[in-house]
């Protein structure tokens, strides 16, 4: 068996892993990263930007949110069912992390809010192309990788870790398999787990969360995120905590995100059809409304609402008059991820999707025809549309109190519909940690030399992603990674 030796071994070269490695190396500690894929960056390459509060960029933009206010928002949102010390450590470090990244050459466009009413905490990265959107943060991952190399971090690609080694109650290394398929023993005084969660593992999703991928959830599956780091942590005594999905909602066509983004034509269709998620009428299979549609910009809230409906799905319905408004006047909700103000070719995209036999986009000549195509209860749908049109006529929604500006009757054929299911950006949680990112047993005992960061240990949201403070998952990965690296370096110092 091949032998390697380092002070700190990091499992995974994604956001948390790279941040951890750089932070460790900045403290003059030897670091090696072991990554199963052929590139660095992981899911971070597909992201847009991290959370931060009281950053230099927010001060320039005069964003008034303080760390104290953000902490209160966060803890009130989660009903204090999460580790307040960890949340505080994360929030308090976030502004410094933006400075840290800027010193590496990372540029940011400006802090943004994902939807109306959210806070301006999302620090969107300026991509190499200058064009904002998905994958913008790839430039940040490149900067982290470059910094790791400059600091002497050893990065072993195509080298998956199979086992964490423990002796006399403390961590002593890893077993991995290199790109030549040879087993390697890595002697290390500390290990940081940053393997990216279990979003690409339908079996774990079903076993621990009850969702069946491809049936009642169409979450984004990033290849290789199979929960192996979490399982290895459990195998050496780590406690289990906070397993969840970072729930949103979407049409199934967006679930295979790596395929969508690899094909420019698919990207255009997918992002264009995403314009359908405007605050139009939304009903379930029973034909009933179940939410105030103006909240649809908050994908977490909407995903939660859809997840409890029959068939775990819902339908957005609008008529041709609304389609013309979206094309000629503008959209009601403009999303930072796809910042278009008008859906100029929405009608063509809908027809194209139907011609391509997209099972989640519909066009009908009447409400009865739409019910037949979608499987929605026809009697209830007719009743709901009649009541909804009356609410539109009087400018008042007495059921869910929807803002009158979004009340548009459904009366002019063709009638359009889009079917949505729960989705998710990925998995959350699995490994129990403290505010130093030290891994704990179920009895809250520290496993010496073991740390976890990123989504493997992200159990700070409770039951729902804290979307009112955008950028949290990438932000937690960066900041927990830095905390893990710094604390691992301190731990190494105690062993001298």
Residues 203, 493: Cα–Cα separation, whole Å:
40
Query: What is the dihedral sign for C-alpha 202, 283, 410, 278?
Result: negative
Q: Average the pLDDT over 446-456 and give the result.
A: 98
- CB atoms under 10 Å from CB of 39, counted, come to 12
Q: Average the pLDDT over 228-238 and give the result.
A: 98
Amino acid 345: pLDDT: 85
Q: Which residue has the tokens 């009340």?
A: 407
Is omega for the bond preceding 414 within 30 degrees of 0, making it cis?
yes
Residues 420, 436: Cα–Cα separation, whole Å:
39
Percent of the chain whose pLDDT exceeds 90? 83
Please provide residue 256's backbone torsions phi and psi, each rounded to the nearest 5 degrees.
-80, 65
Residue 187 scores a pLDDT above 50: yes
Residue 262 scores a pLDDT above 80: no
- CB atoms under 10 Å from CB of 335, counted, come to 16
Amino acid 320: pLDDT: 96
Q: Average the pLDDT over 34-46 and give the result.
A: 95
Average pLDDT taken over every residue of the chain: 93
Amino acid 264: pLDDT: 46
Amino acid 337: pLDDT: 63
**pLDDT per position as a tens digit, 63-92:** 999 999 999 999 999 999 999 999 999 999
Residues 254, 249: Cα–Cα separation, whole Å:
10
Amino acid 343: pLDDT: 80
Residues 356, 348: Cα–Cα separation, whole Å:
12
- DSSP type of residue 189: S
- CB atoms under 10 Å from CB of 493, counted, come to 12
Structure tokens at 20: 């951890």
**Residues 425, 473 contacting (CB under 8 angstroms):** yes
Q: Strands, DSSP E only, in 178-304?
A: 183-187, 190-193, 244-250, 281-283
Give the burial class of 478: count Cβ atoms within 10 A of its Cβ; 0-12 exposed, 13-18 middle, 19 or more buried.
buried
Q: Average the pLDDT over 339-359 and give the result.
A: 85
Q: Which residue has the tokens 């505080």?
A: 88
Query: What is the dihedral sign for C-alpha 345, 350, 355, 357?
Result: positive
Residues 73, 172: Cα–Cα separation, whole Å:
40
Residues 123, 112: Cα–Cα separation, whole Å:
6
Domain ranges of the chain: 2-243+429-494, 248-423
Percent of the chain whose pLDDT exceeds 70? 95
Residue 253 scores a pLDDT above 90: no
**pLDDT per position as a tens digit, 161-184:** 999 999 999 999 999 999 999 999
**Residues 36, 17 contacting (CB under 8 angstroms):** no
3-state secondary structure of 191: strand
Residues 183, 175: Cα–Cα separation, whole Å:
7
Q: Which helix (H) or strand (E) holds 259?
A: helix 257-262
**pLDDT per position as a tens digit, 111-126:** 999 888 899 999 999 9
Cβ neighbours of residue 70 closer than 8 Å, sequence gap 6 or more: 53, 91, 119, 121, 469
The CATH code for residues 248-423 is 3.90.700.10
**Residues 32, 54 contacting (CB under 8 angstroms):** no
Amino acid 342: pLDDT: 82
Q: Strands, DSSP E only, in 93-236?
A: 108-112, 122-125, 154-156, 161-167, 170-177, 183-187, 190-193
Residues 411, 276: Cα–Cα separation, whole Å:
18
Q: How many whole angstroms from its chain centre is CA 438?
A: 23
Give the burial class of 97: count Cβ atoms within 10 A of its Cβ; 0-12 exposed, 13-18 middle, 19 or more buried.
buried
Amino acid 133: pLDDT: 74
Residue 451 scores a pLDDT above 50: yes
Amino acid 135: pLDDT: 86
pLDDT class of 333 with cuts at 50, 70, 90: confident
Amino acid 269: pLDDT: 54
Size (the chain), residues: 496
Nearest Cα to 378, choosing from 286, 280, 282? 286
- Torsion of the alpha carbons at 488, 494, 495 and 496, rounded to the nearest 10: 120
Residues 406, 159: Cα–Cα separation, whole Å:
53
Q: Which CATH architecture has domain 2-243+429-494?
A: 3-Layer(bba) Sandwich (3.50)
């Amino acid at each position: 068996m091949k032998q390697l030796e380092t002070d700190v071994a990091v499992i995974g070269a994604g956001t948390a892993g790279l941040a951890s490695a750089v932070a460790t190396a900045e403290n003059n500690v030897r670091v090696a990263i072991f990554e199963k894929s052929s590139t660095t960056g992981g899911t971070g390459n597909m992201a847009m930007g991290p959370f931060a509060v009281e950053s230099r960029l927010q001060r320039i933009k005069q964003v008034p949110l303080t760390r104290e206010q953000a902490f209160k928002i966060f803890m009130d949102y989660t009903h204090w069912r999460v580790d307040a010390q960890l949340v505080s450590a994360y929030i308090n470090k976030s502004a410094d992390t933006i400075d840290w990244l800027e010193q590496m050459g990372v540029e940011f466009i400006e802090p943004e809010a994902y939807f109306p009413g959210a806070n301006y905490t999302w620090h969107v990265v300026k991509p190499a192309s200058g064009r904002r959107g998905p994958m913008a943060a790839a430039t940040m991952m490149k900067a982290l990788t470059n910094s790791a190399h400059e600091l002497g971090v050893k990065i072993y690609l195509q080298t998956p870790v199979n086992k964490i080694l423990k002796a006399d109650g403390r961590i002593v290394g890893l077993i991995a398999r290199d790109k030549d398929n040879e087993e390697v023993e890595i002697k290390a005084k500390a290990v940081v787990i940053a393997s990216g969660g279990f979003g690409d593992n339908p079996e774990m999703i079903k076993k621990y969360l009850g969702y069946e991928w491809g049936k009642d959830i169409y979450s984004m599956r990033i290849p290789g995120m199979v929960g192996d780091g979490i399982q290895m942590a459990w195998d050496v005594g780590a406690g289990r905590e906070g397993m969840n999905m970072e729930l949103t909602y979407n049409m199934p066509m967006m679930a295979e995100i790596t395929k969508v983004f690899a094909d420019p034509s698919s990207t255009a269709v997918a992002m264009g059809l995403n314009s359908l998620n405007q605050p139009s009428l939304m009903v379930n299979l029973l034909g009933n409304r179940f939410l105030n549609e103006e909240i649809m910009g908050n994908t977490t809230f909407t995903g939660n609402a859809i997840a409890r409906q029959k068939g775990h799905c819902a339908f957005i319905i609008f008529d041709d008059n609304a389609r013309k408004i979206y094309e000629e006047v503008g959209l009601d909700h403009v999303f930072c991820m796809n910042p278009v103000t008008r859906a100029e070719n929405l009608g063509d995209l809908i027809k194209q999707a139907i011609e391509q036999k997209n099972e989640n986009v519909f066009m009908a000549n009447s409400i009865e025809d739409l019910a037949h195509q979608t499987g929605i209860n026809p009697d209830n749908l007719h009743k709901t549309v009649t009541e909804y049109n009356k609410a539109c006529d009087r400018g008042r929604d007495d059921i869910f109190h929807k803002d009158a500006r979004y009340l548009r009757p459904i009366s002019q054929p063709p009638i359009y519909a889009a079917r949505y299911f729960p989705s998710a950006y990925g998995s959350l949680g699995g490994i129990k940690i403290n505010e130093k990112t030290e891994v704990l047993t179920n009895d809250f005992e520290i496993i010496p030399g073991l740390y976890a960061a990123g989504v493997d240990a992200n159990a700070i949201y409770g039951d729902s992603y804290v979307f009112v403070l955008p950028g949290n998952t990438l932000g937690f990965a960066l900041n927990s990674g830095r905390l893990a690296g710094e604390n691992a370096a301190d731990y190494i110092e105690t062993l001298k």
